[in-house]
Amino acid sequence: MPDFNAPLRDMRFVLHEVLQAPALWARLPALAETVDADTADAVLEEAAKVTGQLIAPLNRNGDEEGAQWRAGEVRTPAGFKEAYATYIQGGWVGLSGNPDQGGMGMPKMLAVQVEEMLYAANSSFALYSALTSGACLAIDAHASEELKNTYLPPLYEGRWAGSMCLTEAHAGTDLGLIRTRAEPQADGSYAISGSKIFITGGEQDLTENIIHLVLAKLPDAPAGPKGISLFLVPKFLVNADGSVGARNPVHCGSIEHKMGIKASATCVMNFDGAHGWLVGEANRGLTAMFTMMNYERLSIGIQGIGCAEASYQNAVSYARERAQSRSPSGPQAQDKLADPIIVHPDVRRMLLSMKAMTEGGRAFAGYVGQQLDLAKFSDDAEERATAEALVALLTPVAKAFFTDTGLDSCIHGQQVFGGHGYIREWGQEQLVRDVRIAQIYEGTNGIQALDLLGRKVVANGGASLRVFTGAMRAFASQPDAPYARELLDAAQRLENLSQWLIEQSARQPHEIGAASVEYLHLFGYTAYAWMWARMAQVAQRQLATDEAFYGAKLATAEFFFRRLLPRTLGLDACIRAGSESLYGLSEGQF
């Protein structure tokens, strides 16, 4: 298994130079005291150590040993428990948590970089804390003061962990169908009964307690999604002094045997009249759950980037060392029998595709993080509203585009290794297996695409989209904006296509779902075009200070605009062919 080295220089480039985070932090009161460039760098450096030295070395054994279930208990692979104990001492779980409850209050822009390192090092390990951070967010936003005071501090500390209990065997995408019941009790709590599946970290041996956030229905609840409430159900009840008390009747019935993320326990959770407490309003549980869901969606998107980065690092290293055949332009390593395969154009194409998409994704993740920070911390109501609209618009793009292209990058990296990529030894096949889940969980990428096109674009007549493309156009109007023509064309293509879809979908209800996945990809390439133009602008300005680093940014931007962005032409044409040809067959004719 190769080493993982966090791309610190690239992360600082995105954070400090492209997104100019320190200037933003300085003007937001809640952040000005908390973080500056030096603090951020210290956080990144420490995260690089923890992920590279503590967590990444457990990745391969984690895959081979896997999480093990026995009589309701889950044992994580060797080393996980000790590493988790060390990890939480760094305060990482509460990195961007509410400081009033023990969180560190760091900006999301910074946290996304740390998350990327975690996923790159060990996706299974990362999930245990990712779910905890997301659960904290939902509790902080929607729970009563009493629940917050009881649960948030140990969750931020990492002594306790969170889980998200939505799916049932017959209800995945369609949560309106859930059957888990919540019976009101005399003491104001509820008795939760039902069975949930695919619960990441539903049981584990890393933490003293596990706090489940559970969707269930009250006895008088309306049918469908408007009759769902959210409950907090701890594995162990909590005593008045905050200590862990009696076992709550919620148990792990089994864990899944999966393609990848084998060290992450994916649990069947059985609730047998377990004590639970309502979070937020009755029957408004989906809204509260979506606070966590949206957090997890961005986080899972970042799993795509993290795995892609790990794949890229491995593949570049192999391509520099593996010698096979000669360059088409003649021998390069004259003293050897063959050239390193990095000289071959098709190997470069794969490496550059990985590099351009991973770095484009990192910048875009930072940008979405920036909007989250503005939505949360800005004291300007209009700025908050704009940022919120962008977060809503861009979260499904981030989740699905990062992970669809993350799989591509892991496949490319595996392909660079040839046959060696298919065997365990080099870690490439594990990356492919681990990243594949990210296209599926937290709402499949098809669902993300429906959310993007249906709810976030068509439903508001393209208003949020115009905020985004407006920002692109503003950038392109700068005198030294690189690729201004290409950017304006890309923005125009996205706007025209969106307008066409708004019109089509008014007439034909299938049009949104017929276009959505390819539309999301076209959106993603367009967004990355802006990110690459921004990175190229900084690189142009700074080139003289570090020709190797900034020159690489300029060359990768050039590759992106020349060789990847034109994919939007094919996507546009496929989408404009419409939905009709999807309905030429009856169900029986498939």
Catalytic center residues: 442
CB of 177 to a second copy, least distance (A): 6
Query: Closest by alpha carbon to 251, among 130, 77, 70, 76?
Result: 70
- Segment 441 to 480, residues that bind a second copy, using CB under 8 A: 441, 444-446, 449-450
CB of 483 to a second copy, least distance (A): 13
Residue 413 in the binding site for a second copy (CB under 8 A): no
Task: Name the burial class of residue 86, with classes exposed (0-12), middle (13-18) and buried (19+) by CB atoms within 10 angstroms of its CB.
Answer: exposed
- Segment 549 to 578, residues that bind a second copy, using CB under 8 A: 551-552, 554-556, 558-559, 562-564, 566-571, 573-574, 577-578
And the tokens for 225? 């999604």
Options 39, 287, 499, 579; binder of a second copy; rule CB under 8 A: 579
- Segment 300 to 359, residues that bind a second copy, using CB under 8 A: 316, 319-320, 323-325, 328-330, 337-338, 340, 342-352, 355
Residues in the interface with a second copy (CB under 8 A) total: 104
Residue 131 in the binding site for a second copy (CB under 8 A): no
- Segment 150 to 169, residues that bind a second copy, using CB under 8 A: 167
CB of 512 to a second copy, least distance (A): 7
- Segment 173 to 202, residues that bind a second copy, using CB under 8 A: 173-174, 176-177, 197-198
CB of 429 to a second copy, least distance (A): 4
Find the radius of gyration of the CA atoms of the chain.
24
Indicate the residue type of 24.
L
And the tokens for 385? 């509203």
Question: Which one of the spans 87-95, 203-211, 375-383, 547-555 is the region binding a second copy (CB under 8 A)?
Answer: 547-555
Cα separation, 118 vs 121, whole angstroms: 5
Query: Closest by alpha carbon to 396, among 579, 530, 529, 524?
Result: 524
CB 402 within 8 A of CB 368: no
Options 421, 427, 482, 524; binder of a second copy; rule CB under 8 A: 421
- Segment 258 to 287, residues that bind a second copy, using CB under 8 A: 258-260, 266
Residue with smaller CB distance to a second copy, 47 or 342? 342
Instruction: Name residue 73's beta-bridge partners.
Output: 70
Residue with smaller CB distance to a second copy, 461 or 570? 570
Residue with smaller CB distance to a second copy, 108 or 212? 212
CB of 367 to a second copy, least distance (A): 24
Residue with smaller CB distance to a second copy, 424 or 541? 424
Residue with smaller CB distance to a second copy, 92 or 550? 550
CB of 65 to a second copy, least distance (A): 14
Residue 407 in the binding site for a second copy (CB under 8 A): yes
Indicate the residue type of 221.
A
Instruction: Evaluate the CA torsion angle 372, 376, 380, 384 in order and state its sign.
Output: positive
Query: Closest by alpha carbon to 116, among 306, 363, 360?
Result: 306
Q: What φ, ψ does residue 396 adopt, rounded to 5°?
A: -65, -35
Query: Distance of alpha carbon 6 from its chain centroid, rounded?
Result: 17
Listed as own residue / partner, the contacts of 67-73 with beta carbons closer than 8 Å and 24 or more positions apart are 67/124, 67/204, 67/255, 67/262, 67/263, 67/264, 67/265, 69/203, 69/252, 69/254, 69/255, 69/265, 72/203, 72/251, 72/252, 72/253, 73/203, 73/205, 73/252
- Segment 223 to 262, residues that bind a second copy, using CB under 8 A: 256-260
